[in-house]
Structure 1
Amino acid sequence: MTATEFVDQIKDFAVTKADLKNADFPDEFAGMLAKGYEYKVLPKTKNSANEIINLISNYDMSSVEIGMISFEKEIKETEGFYFFGKVELDLMAISKGNNEIVVVDYANTDEIIQYCAANSKKFLAAMMAAWRATTEFLLDEEKADDYDYREEVIAKCTELAGGDAYFDFFDNMLGD
């Protein structure tokens, strides 16, 4: 999935504050959750072969939250990684060695603690599937409590990400 395809698909399922209030979320919390679907188009500054670099460089994704994942305003670069977001306190990164998407320990930025996807396109596709599912979980309590459905979503995201090496990441993100 390209960066453009990723942001285009957000429009298909983004929830509004009103949607969340209709689902009985308190006003303030509904506003906070709805903000997690908001992005801004920036003046096109970069056309990279890496779709996550395109996403962060051409869109302000800093308000977007997908479960426990958030995006930075800009790419930060070290010798081994391009950092583009966070999983709670830890850092989301693109490995310069093989373009794999990984989670790096916030206290030791040389230590990979989780593997997320084989490459940026696969990561964006898997994250879109995960985001759609977390949105369903927000709005449909039955789906949120359906263990079998969660397992199906985890399996789908794992496959989209590139296979079994990425199961733990999606299980942590979407499992109970």
Structure 2
Amino acid sequence: MSDQGAVCYTFEAAVEMAIKMEEEGFRHYLDAIRKVKLKGAREILKEAAVDELDHKCSLEKSLLEGQMAGGDALTRQIPTMNLGYVLAKKELRADSDTREALAYAIHLEKGSIDFYKRMADGCAGAPMGGIFAQMLADETKHLQQLEDMYEEHFMTEN
């Protein structure tokens, strides 16, 4: 979906694109869960997969209602450390550990953030712009949580 530029879509098309994005994220996590054997790493991936399902469900409900639930409750992006730029992006293996699972999840969340940022910018001022801003804010919250966990467990202070 990297070919979307500064373009806006109908409400339904915009939500359908977001649903597809969340489904793809869930499938990536599911594939990773099937590969990884270590319990701690699997738990991190499972929690992230559930977040993707929650997003997808919320978006599908908005299709039924014709609007995104929650209004503008959470539309402000949360600052992150941008660890995705520092951590190597690698495929997970059966013996991948918690650190690698966190790095993998951070990269997937970064991809979602990039998608929602492009869509929010393209739809700025349109009704569906708020949907993408809300999803962007939620994704940055998830990224911050993953980065905080990474920092707590794997980044030592000098």
Compare relative contact order (CA 8 Å, sep 6+) and give the higher one, 1 or 2. 2
Query: Do both share a fold (TM > 0.5)?
Result: no
Task: Identify the TM-score tier after normalising by the shorter chain.
Answer: 0.3 to 0.5
Greater strand proportion: 1
TM-score normalised by length of structure 2: 0.33
The structure with the largest helix share of the pair is: 2
